[in-house]
Structure 1
């Protein structure tokens, strides 16, 4: 028999392994920071620091959708609302002039019996507008940071808080007996 069949191969003659040849697929992905197939599209950002076989895994961050036109429209509506709130403050705080204007628009020739009674209502309306704008802005920014469509929030906030402030401003007019008498007299003609 020949000696060649019984001899073991020389370990020096064997080729050296290539980089990563003996690593598991998970170890290879962790080294090259590639997510596993089941981790490629997570619903929320996942930050894990738990080591897999002694190798810390790379954080996988979900891609957020961007809405640049929505952001522009939202900020434009918020800016318009801020200008509206600032312009309304002096008009509301001069309740006598506001009441005359409203009565003129309604076509009623009347004077408020107590114009000073409307001032607390006007202050409340200003507070409602200012706080409403702040709440609307906070909700809009919070919604935009979560990459959600936000243009409707300033519109809804503007409608709700403007109508509430308008109702507060009209309340003293509707409670004044002189205005009611003038309204009744104008409907009899």
Structure 2
């Protein structure tokens, strides 16, 4: 009989003895060399593999523009909240100003009875801005792209508070009909 092994020649050390495995483990792996930027041939000739370079602060993006845009949007939102919230509380005056701007000859039947809607609208603006600022701050601290957070927060809060301001006008049938007549024709 011949001494020929019928098994195929191992490619990855499947048939290595424990001594051969220990010897191979003691050498640096070719993948470590590739990650460090050294050719596998250098590892085969037992050259030392340099350590992988440490990440420097210059390698990380600073996102300066993102921070500036985020702060500007938050500042604009704060200014909007500070100006709009007190005006929203008085829905009667808000509705009268809206009617005058649109050229509608109408007014709310009970301007004081709809004050709760204005308080709700102003609260949405204030709480929405605080929540948006908190989420933006957390995102900035984590180093993530943040400019979109105050933009989306502002759009959502203004839409919701605007809807809360229109509901009392829609519920007042005389004012709503006058508004519809003016807008439609």
Runs (5+) with no aligned partner, structure 2 = 1-25, 27-49
Whether the 8 Å contact between 1:143 and 1:149 is mirrored in structure 2 is yes
Contact 1:64 1:147 in 2 (8 A): no
Distance 1:117 1:39 in 2: 69
> Is 1:150 aligned with 2:135?
no
Q: What's the secondary structure of 2:105's corresponding residue?
A: coil
What is the Cα deviation at residue 185 of structure 1? Answer: 4.9
Confirm or deny that 1:121 pairs with 2:126: no
Distance 1:40 1:187, change over 3 A: closer
TM-score, with structure 1 as normaliser: 0.64
Identify unmatched segments of 5+ residues in structure 1.
Answer: 1-23, 25-35, 42-60
Between the aligned partners of 2:113 and 2:145, the Cα distance in structure 1 is: 43
Determine if the alignment matches structure 1 residue 163 to structure 2 residue 159: yes
Give the structure with higher Rg (CA). Answer: 1
Q: How many residues align?
A: 137
2:100 is the alignment partner of 1:104: yes
Distance 2:152 2:138 in 1: 15
> Which whole-Å CA distance do the structure 1 matches of 2:184 and 2:70 have between them?
48
Equivalent residue number for residue 178 of structure 1:
174
Cα gap change, 1:163 to 1:188, in 2 (>3 Å): closer
Alpha-carbon distance in 1 for matches of 2:67, 2:165: 33
Provide the alpha-carbon RMSD of the alignment: 2.8
Q: How does 1:1-189 map to 2 (within 5 A)?
A: 37=51, 40=54, 64-183=60-179, 185-186=181-182
Call closer, same or farther: CA 1:167–1:145 in 2, change over 3 Å. same
